[in-house]
Amino acid sequence: MKNIAVVLAGNGVYDGAEIHEATLTMLAIAQQGANYQCFAPDTNQAHVINHLSGEEMPETRNVLVEAARIARGNIKALSEYKAEEFDAIVFPGGFGAAKNLCTFAFDGPNCKVNADVETAIKETVSAGKPIGALCISPALIAKVLGDVQLTIGSDKGTAEAIETLGAKHITTTHGEIVVDEKYKVVTTPCYMLDATISQIAVGASNVIAKILEIA
């Protein structure tokens, strides 16, 4: 059975990993006959958002500790990730991907990428293994790799920001994937579009199917 690393950015769409995307990615992996191991950087979140009101809360939370909620406690610090032990790595979306894994939500093309995230991406590419990225996560892939073909759906402003990093953006709709042959990067828009949970499931499943095909 193939093993896929799933990198979570916390817990919750506004300040962490998007829970539907994360869960449906793990489900797709299991349904398609592979194993997964969750990872997250052991660092504090950029901030904490009240998911009911949308307001920022005066507290501090750890990305790894929060992501453990989604992983049911079976999660490791991203610093422990070794590309040779996995067949691929996948980054579900959520604002946490653009706030905690990198700072794209705050700084746009001038963003910085978490050191463990950047190392994981570069080591996976060096090992010739696929990378999956959902929703806004392709932004951090673009920041690290530069000349990569990918999609975040059809949002013009975000697409233009990503292209300033050297990436080529392909406009897509629900469930569609874009494959970069050079880097073996597979992306899909998910909640970057106005999507239903069933459409998220299709996108996640298509990403995983392609990753397993080329792994």
Active site residues: 135
Which of 123, 30, 11, 1 has the alpha carbon at shortest distance from 75? 11
**Cβ-proximal residues to 190 (8 Å cutoff; 6+ apart), any chain:** 18, 21, 93, 134, 135, 199, 200, 203, 204
Give the containing element (helix H, strand E) for 57.
strand 56-57
Q: How many residues does the chain have?
A: 215
The residues that bridge with 131 in the sheet, in sequence order, are: 89, 185
DSSP 109: G
